[in-house]
Amino acid sequence: MPQRRIILRNWQVYAAPANIGANEPVGGIKETQSDSSVEEAVTIALNKLAPREKEFVIRYFFQGETYCQIADALKISEKRIGGLHERAIRKLKKSLSEFVKTRYGIHVSSSSDCPICLSSDRPKIEKSIRNKKRSGTWKSIIRSIKRRYKIDIRTPQIVISHEKYHMEA
């Protein structure tokens, strides 16, 4: 039985053999579904990432490369690698949250302090964000959110970040 290995930094972690049965205990934990469903969910989540984010995850978590090595390969600064790391993890967490909830019964909360995400009127606000004309400014949207929903948004970046990171495509 060949074993798969994951290299994380200088550690090698040997995963369960690829062809282990669904009812055989693995490390004292009895699995109820085959390992392939986890691999499939992770693959789907990885494929949703931007190419650089995906490359970062593969190089950092699966190949064990350091920030410095990845920065050299991608020809970007180490500081930007940190941002890439945070963004990739946030997107993976969001993509895998439903799978984790279904498979393991663990609710993954979005630790967001975004005022739009915390609003009970989020669907209505997102509808107005989606309806914004591409050539238009955020001024009217921000004014509308302040007036209708009593959310104090001071900069367009809050709305832009919400649109980019929190709204479904």
Determine contact, residues 75/55, Cβ cutoff 8 Å. Answer: no
- Give the residue among 120, 111, 113 at the shortest CA–CA distance from 150: 120
Q: Would you state the pLDDT for residue 111?
A: 57
Render pLDDT for 20-34 as a digit per residue (tens, 0 to 9).
344 444 343 444 445
Render pLDDT for 34-74 as a digit per residue (tens, 0 to 9).
568 888 999 999 999 999 999 999 999 989 999 999 999 99
Determine contact, residues 45/57, Cβ cutoff 8 Å. Answer: no
Q: Would you state the pLDDT for residue 13?
A: 47
Q: Would you state the pLDDT for residue 24?
A: 42
Q: Is 75 left (phi over 0), alpha (psi -120 to 50) or beta?
A: left
The fraction of the chain above a pLDDT of 90, given in percent, is 45
Q: How many CB atoms lie within 10 A of CB 165?
A: 14
Task: Say whether pTM exceeds 0.75.
Answer: no
